[in-house]
Amino acid sequence: MDERRRQLLEDLLSTPGPSGYEANSQRVWVDYVSEFADEVRTDDYGNAVATLSGGDTEVALAGHGDEIGFIVRDLTDDGHVRMGRIGGSDKTVSRGQHVTIHTADGPVDGVVGQTAIHLREADDDGVPDVAEQHVDVGATDGDELAELVDRGDPITFQQTITELENGRLSARGMDNRIGIWAAAEGLRRAAEQDVEATVHAVSTVQEEVGLQGAKMVGFDLDPDVAIAADVTHATDSPDSPGKRSTGVELGEGPVVSRGSTNHPVVVEALRATGEEADIDVQLQATGIRTGTDADAFYTSRGGIPSVNVGLPNRYMHTPVEVIDEADLDAMADLLAGFAVRADEHAPFEVDV
């Protein structure tokens, strides 16, 4: 990954954008794709679409730009913040963490309180719900706190981007800044190959709270085919339950989902693209749903042929998600290659 592409990834990871509050991170993405797209537009909720105009076949390469987080639910009289969840935030990893409350007047630093082990009952190993946890910003009372934050302000873990061994990278929000990075890079790399199809790179909002942005974009854009780029669980760490194993591993390439949502013709086109471009591709079974924007795209309008392409990710929905940079680079190449060869595989129809 060259310096410019690495800088984009770090900028996306370090710019908070929990669901419903994505404007700043969306702006980072829009500024980047504006360098090479023919057109960039946003809608009323902040979904962003960058387009390379070409032939009649229209391809959407989409990631979701939002992340999980927390929200200021209430302010206590003694000067503490009560939290609510934004998306699937994990109560088991929030206590004892440094956080930032994003207010209209700027960031306010705080910590999520955790009773010291010395003060807890010996058998008290339970984890309180997020609604029972609190943020301490150092305020002495409720009046001082009310001068600093408002109900409804979003909260995120303070960001640390850490390089691990063997090209692995750890950060908060890999889910799903890697998806919008790959969509943007897929578009740029397709442009370098003089793609003949019309290609849209998409960064959706509010995926973590119900795939809402993809519902909007799928209806409005109505492409011939949509690829949702997201993370998927790498089940190669020691704490992964055996019954949840998928065979997906870090460093073995992007993952093409099969079953349910995933259109079989598009699946085969992606597999052929990987083989032709010498890109290692893993397969994953998703017999009921993918849990990604693909689930919204494929039922939009009269149905949009869609597939979820996942990036192996350890420790999802924690502040220490781990990916392999080589997998991410390969994902962008796979998206670009699919777009370049889209006309060869169109129309995307099941032969009945």
Domains and CATH numbers, the chain: 3-67+172-345 (3.40.630.10), 69-157 (2.40.30.40)
Confidence of residue 14 (pLDDT cuts 50, 70, 90): very high
The pLDDT value recorded for residue 5 is 96
**CB neighbour burial string for 92-121, b if at least 16 within 10 angstroms, e if fewer:** ebbbebebbbbeeeeebebbbeeeeeeeee
Q: Is 134 known as a binding-site position?
A: no
Secondary structure tally for the chain: helices H, strands E? 10, 17
- The residues annotated with a catalytic role in the active site are 207
Amino acid residing at 266 = V
Q: Is 64 known as a binding-site position?
A: yes
The pLDDT value recorded for residue 241 is 81
The pLDDT value recorded for residue 215 is 98
Give the phi and the psi of residue 296 in degrees, each rounded to 5.
-90, -40
Q: Is 263 known as a binding-site position?
A: no
Least-confidence region, from 37-51, 141-155, 240-254, 256-270: 240-254
DSSP secondary structure, 90-105, as one string: -HHHHTT-EEEEEETT
Confidence of residue 117 (pLDDT cuts 50, 70, 90): confident
The pLDDT value recorded for residue 284 is 97
Q: Is 208 known as a binding-site position?
A: yes
Token pair, residue 294, equals: 């693909």
Token pair, residue 293, equals: 């924007």
The pLDDT value recorded for residue 1 is 84
Confidence of residue 158 (pLDDT cuts 50, 70, 90): very high
Q: Is the pLDDT of residue 243 over 80?
A: no
Give the whole-angstrom CA distance, residue 157 versus residue 18. 11
Q: What pairs with residue 309 in β-bridges?
A: 229, 256
Residue 352: exposure state from Cβ atoms within 10 A (0-12, 13-18, ≥19):
exposed
Confidence of residue 28 (pLDDT cuts 50, 70, 90): very high
